[in-house]
Chains A and B, each alone.
Chain A
């Protein structure tokens, strides 16, 4: 019996190794296929336009950086888009973090009448898509004089980021042990002391999660800026890509250089914080 089992186990281990190299090969094959579009962009951004047209997926011959020079130089449009994207993303992140942290504290630690009602009111926002509100939102921003301004984009994006952020903050603050609050009160601290000295310092992981989710959403957001911004000097990177592509239908190498440069910030962000991004997005999704 025991002999039998050990044979079975060693057999299992052997086939396990074989299986694992098969798995590696299959994984590699999928990775190559999945990466191919990225490869195409990068490789075409360092070619002449002639070579892009004649041999789009081959190795660059000669290696040519003119497209990058043209995109980065020339009127400095790209830098403007980058600046606008940064301003909008950073402002949105700050508003979402501050507002939802404050609301989360009240909704988790201070019992008051109507609390579940207000909580559900916010959470409801996670159930339906942004697009439902997009036309009236446009009119709302028009009536408030926010059309054509970055403020309009920031406020709209922040408002739609709130439900998930409040959900995450409230959930996190709820789990802070009651004893900590009691101990703080015994030492003479009010509820505000408790927040500033204890809760906020330990809530870094949630702040990181909320900021990551907000950043990715804001950075890639297309519909809000498309509706709100009318002047290309205020455009964000996604709008810039769209516009640039429309202008240079024949200059594919420049379009590819533009996309490559626009991917760099996100790629750098991703590879330096991969673990947190994955953790943040899955936390956001799983909790949603």
Chain B
């Protein structure tokens, strides 16, 4: 191949690469990367989204944010979802997977479908369905309480600053448990039968098999499920929005509803962007930590 040919070839190749990558690159740049960078930029200004960026406030937005009780409530609510998901939802999802994911019995495929189905429904629809179920006049909690007490007892879970968060967490639990179960069922396929059988013949109890054989073999699946659960928890919006827009009295505010309520609705784009940057940093730090200490070890 002469040098000339080579040049033509590499020019052609460059053209081809350019042609193939440019559409995705431009779209991604314009609607993901630039906005993220802009969020960082806006976050140090006080700005209504119109006119020039003039009122530079440095880290003022961030200081202000951490002095706001509502913001701290939102942050704490997100952390509560993380904690409850890790301690409650994922173990129960794992139990579901063990229960119906392995030995086939009649109906196990149907059960799988039913457990998983909430995951594919729009969160908005789900929020409204549960708002109906929680209705203080005729809903399930009221029915149960009236039955137990024998008289008229009205329970307004979503109307109570004390219980609304729990009520919403139940919905999140219901909606996402099937997804994690499906991940675990997929992970269970990678547990070699022989290992399990060997452990049983050696006299291991059911629980011992789970903790010493199945869980270690499923490490990678669990690592992923935890990651998705944590990042997902910092993104909760639709369900909370549908069930009460962060209320009553901001008690169910999450970081994203806070961003929407205080950044977007009031056109405080600088402040809202600072909230976005906090969400970004939390996810980034978690991701770096996770990559370094958890994912690295499992390889």
Contacts and interface: CB of A to CB of B under 8 A. Distances in A.
Interface of A: 12, 16, 20-21, 23-24, 26-28, 30-31, 34-35, 37-38, 40-41, 44, 52-54, 56-57, 95, 98-100, 102-103, 105-107, 110, 112, 118, 121-122, 125, 127-140, 155-156, 158-160, 162-163, 166, 191-192, 216, 219-220, 222-223, 227, 237-239, 241-242, 245, 252, 255-256, 259, 262-263, 266-267, 270-271, 274, 277-278, 281-282, 285-286, 288
Contacts, number: 261
Given A41-B129, A132-B277, A133-B36, A219 B122 contact: yes
Nearest to B286: A127
19 contacts: A20-B105, A34-B115, A37-B133, A53-B137, A56-B135, A102-B19, A106-B21, A122-B24, A131-B276, A133-B35, A133-B36, A133-B276, A135-B39, A136-B35, A158-B27, A162-B24, A238-B122, A239-B124, A271-B113
Contact of B27 (A112, A155, A278): A155
A241 to B, nearest CB: 5
Contacts of A256: 132
Nearest to A222: B238
A102 B132 contact: no
B167 interface: no
Contact of A220 (B14, B96, B99, B123): B123
A41 B284 CA distance: 39
A35 B107 CA distance: 14
Contact of A222 (B25, B27, B122, B231): B122
A286 B224 contact: yes
B279 A131 contact: yes
A166 B24 contact: yes
B76 interface: no
B27 A262 contact: no
B290 to A, nearest CB: 10
Interface residues of B, number: 89
B299 interface: no
Interface string B2-35: 0000000000011011011101110110111111
B17 A106 contact: yes
Contact of A129 (B96, B103, B235, B238): B235
Given A31-B114, A41-B129, A127-B287, A57 B140 contact: yes
Contacts of A98: 23
B216 to A, nearest CB: 18
Contacts of B287: 127
A281 B179 contact: yes
Given A134-B264, A135-B263, A222-B237, 8 more contacts: A27-B105, A37-B133, A118-B21, A131-B256, A133-B39, A223-B237, A227-B264, A266-B122
B45 interface: no
A142 B113 CA distance: 42
A118 B123 CA distance: 34
Nearest to B270: A135
Given A27-B100, A127-B287, A216 B120 contact: yes
A26 B13 contact: no
Contacts of A245: 128
A122 B49 CA distance: 28
Contacts of A227: 264
B24 A102 contact: yes
B259 interface: yes
A277 B110 contact: no
A8 to B, nearest CB: 8
A118 B179 contact: no
Nearest to B102: A23
Contacts of B147: none
A286 B183 contact: yes
Nearest to A98: B23
B72 to A, nearest CB: 19
Contacts of A16: 103
Interface string B227-260: 0100100110110011000000000000110010
Contacts of A239: 124
Contacts of B71: none
A102 B235 contact: no
B94 interface: no
Interface string B125-141: 11011101101011110
Nearest to B119: A281
A24 B31 CA distance: 49
A40 B100 contact: no
B52 interface: no
Interface string B273-298: 10011011001100100000000000
B33 to A, nearest CB: 8
B27 to A, nearest CB: 5
A155 B174 contact: no
A35 B280 contact: no
Contacts of B117: 34-35, 38, 267, 270
Nearest to B143: A57
A5 B279 CA distance: 58
Given A219-B122, A282-B183, A99 B24 contact: yes
A282 B119 CA distance: 12
Contacts of B110: 31
Contact of A125 (B28, B96, B174, B234): B28
